[in-house]
Amino acid sequence: MPQRPVLKARRVQFTLPTGTRKHFAGDDLVMSHLVAMLSAVFPEGEDFFIRSVRNYRDQITDPELQQAVKGFIAQEATHRQQHRMLNERLQDMGYPTARFDRHVTWLLAKLEKVFSTEMALAGTAALEHYTATLAELLLTDEQMLDLLGRSDVRPILLWHAFEECEHKAVAFDVFQAVGGTERTRVRAMRIATAIFLAEMVIQTLRSMARDRASYNPRRLLRSLNDFRKSPLVSAETRRRIASYTRPGFHPDDWDTTELLDRWSKELFDADGNQLAQAR
């Protein structure tokens, strides 16, 4: 396994978008709404991840994993804070992030009543695989980077993607350390996939329905066609997601050591402080 990164919450500050450019993802209709709805998921989603891991914090005896959990919780708390601020701006730009945030709060409360804390932890590990896969895609694919261009959303997404790659294995390792089984792990992934994909499709469509640009047939069809060709739905991305259900899988099977080393120089100085161009 690659050496585990030392996790810490970084002090970051971003210039948030304004209402002057609604379709911030390369002026693309579908992708802008999808990214906005993904951002809307994060505050309550990150809080769920923190709760799920914290439930088992006292059962962890490995000092290295204990330290990783501490860093994981700190990073996720910072993600939650930054995306709340971003979502307020996206709401002002016409995206229904506040409504989706309330829906996610309600949905997670229902799910936590139905499923055990073990299943919640397994679900967290599964969803962390989704976020890590999407994060690596953003950090490696030129098409995805070009789509964000120089928009004000770009720096916060790059920072978030970097830290998702850093802590992608923490919830998984906690699940294994407390005796989680392969059967539960795979079952949680299938449940998480069904809920996550359904919610993202439904909420993105609902967001688009509020946008006048969605009723321009030419623009809508062009955007849907571009999305069909997007790396987000490519065979390689689907293969990476599906690898989670492989027997004996571990998140570090996909080694991101070199990727983290390269992007750390793009985003942070030698002391780990945010670079001015990454703000």
pLDDT in tens, 79-98: 999 999 999 999 999 999 99
Instruction: Give the residue numbers spanning the domain of 133.
Output: 29-267
Number of domains in the chain: 1
pTM, rounded to two decimals: 0.93
| 130 domain residue, yes or no | yes
Per the CB < 8 A criterion, the answer to whether 45 and 140 are in contact is no
Across the 279 residues of the chain, what is the mean pLDDT of every consecutive 10-residue run?
76 81 89 96 97 96 95 96 96 95 97 96 98 96 86 91 96 97 97 97 97 96 96 95 96 93 88 70
Contacts of 225 (CB under 8 A, 6+ apart): none
Quick: pLDDT tens for 27-77: 999 999 999 999 999 999 999 999 999 999 999 999 999 999 999 999 999
| 74 domain residue, yes or no | yes
| 177 domain residue, yes or no | yes
| 193 domain residue, yes or no | yes
| 18 domain residue, yes or no | no
Reported as type and span, the H/E element at residue 51 is helix 29-54
Q: What torsion do the CA atoms of 113, 114, 119, 122 make, to the nearest 10 degrees?
A: -80
3-state helix/strand/coil string of 2-36: CCCCCCCCCCCCCCCCCCCCCCCCCCCHHHHHHHH
Neighbours of 105 (CB within 10 A): 14
| 147 domain residue, yes or no | yes
| 52 domain residue, yes or no | yes
| 276 domain residue, yes or no | no
Radius of gyration of the chain (CA): 18
Q: What torsion do the CA atoms of 208, 212, 214, 218 make, to the nearest 10 degrees?
A: -170
Q: CA dist 23 to 20, 37, 188, 269, Å?
A: 9, 13, 34, 31
